[in-house]
């Protein structure tokens, strides 16, 4: 297939782009604004492949999007482009509104004009928190942060384009992702890199927030299944095979890195922090998908990847990220 992958310079988008070019022989054009989280290093290994092309541009730019479509002639658009960090959405929500609301609208208009299949990549956070049981695609939408609220708004807009214009649009919602190339503001790479540097490991609240972890290669494959086999207008949840409280994740990282448990430091909880996310994946399994990576193996492999790929994270850890970290946690990185 010829695909326009928006946000393909980020963590999951680049994982998807790599998978489609290398394993499926697709022609992939990445359109990405290159925010702090978008990096050309993320697709460095496929950048010279004949099936890959990169265009720098924002999804809310009503000139850049049609130009990217003219240049790449895609059969489908897959939209990963987003602001993705809940803490940043609490401090500075404006970019979240712009990218998720306006950006999704501009992409939908372009896809509609060409009658193109469109997959919106979304998150379990649109359902809010669940104490027991698991969310299905029919569960009510109860987002609680500016991040999840604007992602929910984007999902509703996508569904309205199916209902109103008959546009072949689909949504795939994932649970918490982890794996190589994840920006170190997120829990797992943050803890790995702090552990390796002897820095404190800041755990929010009591650390008992439960997350349903999915390896990014599994989520990327679920999105590919939805793209190829999903029914137009439908939503598909893709949850990971394992759930785990944050504190257990941190303890396991301490073991895997050989850090000291004394580095763990409990800090004031995030405002409105959701307690538990859990997704049922029955519907996407019926399309032939299943998660391949169990959390135990995936986490060990992710720790090894960060250990071995200092070239990737060192420029981040010595750049603007330091200032962000200091603002967020009130202390400098070591
Ligand atoms: N990380 C997770 O755990 C997770 C879980 C479920 C769903 N998701 C969803 O998956 C998608 C990708 O998440 P990620 O973790 O890879 O994010 P990320 O922050 O690593 O990457 C986001 C990418 O989008 C680009 N981008 C941001 N705003 C843009 C704009 N206006 N125009 C063009 N490009 C723009 C960034 O430059 C970056 O390359 C998001 O839609 C997110 O909501 C993420």
Active site residue 125: yes
Cα(221) to centroid of ligand 1, in Å? 16
Q: Give the H/E segment covering residue 123.
A: strand 117-123
Question: Which pLDDT score, from 0 to 100, does residue 334 have?
Answer: 79
Q: Which two tokens stand for residue 252?
A: 């396991």
Cα(38) to centroid of ligand 1, in Å? 8
Nearest-atom number in ligand 1 for the CA of 35 is 37
Which residues are within 8 A (CB) of 72 and not within 5 positions of it... i.e. 6 or more apart?
Answer: 2, 4, 27, 29, 53, 55
Give the mutation target among 4, 7, 8, 291 for probing the ligand 1 site: most ligand atoms within 8 A of CB: 7
How far is residue 18's CA from residue 23's CA, in Å, rounded to a whole number? 8
How far is residue 112's CA from residue 29's CA, in Å, rounded to a whole number? 19
> In this structure, are strands 264-267 and 201-204 parallel, antiparallel, or unpaired?
parallel
Q: What is the DSSP string of 208-249?
A: --EEEEEEHHHHHHHHHHHHHHPPTT-EEEE--SEEEEHHHH
Sheet holding 27-32, edge to edge: 52-56, 27-32, 2-6, 76-79, 117-123, 169-174, 235-238
Residues in the chain, total: 334
The DSSP symbol for 248 reads H
Ramachandran angles phi, psi of 4, nearest 5° = -100, 115
Of 147, 181, 236, 277, which one is the catalytic site residue?
147
Which residues are within 8 A (CB) of 308 and not within 5 positions of it... i.e. 6 or more apart?
Answer: none
Give the mutation target among 6, 10, 127, 185 for probing the ligand 1 site: most ligand atoms within 8 A of CB: 10
CA 295, 7, 15, 254: dihedral to nearest 10 degrees? -40
Decide: helix, strand or coil at residue 131. Answer: coil
Active site residue 147: yes
Residue whose token pair is 């650390």: 207
Beta bridge partners, 237, equal 173
Provide Rg for the chain, Cα atoms.
19
Active site residue 36: no
How far is residue 163's CA from residue 138's CA, in Å, rounded to a whole number? 17
Nearest-atom number in ligand 1 for the CA of 174 is 6
Cα(176) to centroid of ligand 1, in Å? 12
Residue whose token pair is 């326009």: 4
Q: Of all protein residues, whose CA lies closest to atom 36 belonging to ligand 1?
A: 38
Ligand 1 pocket, Cβ-based, cut-off 6 angstroms: 6-7, 9-13, 32-35, 37-38, 58-60, 80-84, 99, 103, 121, 123, 151, 174, 176-177, 183
Per-residue pLDDT of the chain (334 residues; tens, 9 = 90+): 999 999 999 999 999 999 999 999 999 999 999 999 999 999 999 999 999 999 999 999 999 999 999 999 999 999 999 999 999 999 999 999 999 999 999 999 999 999 999 999 999 999 999 999 999 999 999 999 999 999 999 999 999 999 999 999 999 999 999 999 999 999 999 999 999 999 999 999 999 999 999 999 999 999 999 999 999 999 999 999 999 999 999 999 999 999 999 999 999 999 989 999 999 999 999 999 999 999 999 999 999 999 999 999 999 998 899 999 999 999 899 7
Neighbouring C-beta atoms of residue 58, cutoff 10 Å: 20
Q: Which two tokens stand for residue 33?
A: 């604004």
């Amino acid at each position: 297939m010829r695909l326009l992958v928006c946000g393909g310079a980020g963590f999951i988008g680049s994982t998807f782009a790599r998978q489609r070019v290398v394993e499926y022989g697709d022609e992939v054009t990445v359109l990405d604004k290159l925010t702090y989280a978008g990096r050309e290093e993320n697709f460095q290994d496929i950048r010279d492949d004949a099936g890959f092309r990169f265009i720098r541009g924002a999804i809310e730019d009503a000139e850049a999007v049609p130009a990217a479509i003219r240049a790449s002639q895609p059969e489908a658009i897959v939209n990963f482009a987003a602001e993705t960090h809940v803490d940043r959405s609490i401090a500075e929500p404006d970019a979240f509104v712009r990218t998720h609301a306006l950006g999704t609208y501009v992409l939908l208009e372009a896809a509609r004009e060409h009658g193109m299949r469109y997959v919106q990549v979304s998150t379990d956070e649109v359902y809010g928190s669940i104490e027991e049981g698991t969310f299905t695609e029919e569960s009510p939408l109860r987002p609680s942060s500016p991040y999840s609220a604007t992602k929910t708004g984007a999902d509703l807009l996508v569904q309205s384009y199916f209902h109103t214009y008959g546009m072949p649009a689909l949504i795939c919602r994932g649970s918490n992702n982890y794996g190589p190339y994840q920006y170190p503001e997120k829990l797992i790479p943050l803890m790995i890199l702090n552990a390796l540097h002897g820095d404190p490991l800041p755990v929010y609240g009591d650390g008992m927030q439960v997350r349903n972890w999915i390896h990014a290669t599994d989520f990327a494959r679920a999105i590919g299944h939805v793209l190829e086999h999903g029914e137009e207008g439908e939503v598909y949840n893709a949850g990971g095979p394992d759930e785990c409280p944050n504190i257990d994740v941190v303890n396991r990282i301490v073991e895997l890195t050989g850090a000291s448990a004394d580095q763990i430091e409990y800090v004031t909880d995030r405002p409105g922090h959701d307690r538990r996310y859990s997704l049922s994946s029955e519907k996407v399994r019926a399309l032939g998908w299943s998660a391949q990576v169990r959390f135990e193996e995936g986490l060990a492999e992710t720790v090894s990847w960060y250990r071995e790929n200092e070239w990737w994270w060192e420029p981040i850890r010595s750049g603007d990220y330091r200032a962000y970290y200091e603002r967020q946690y009130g202390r400098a990185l070591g």
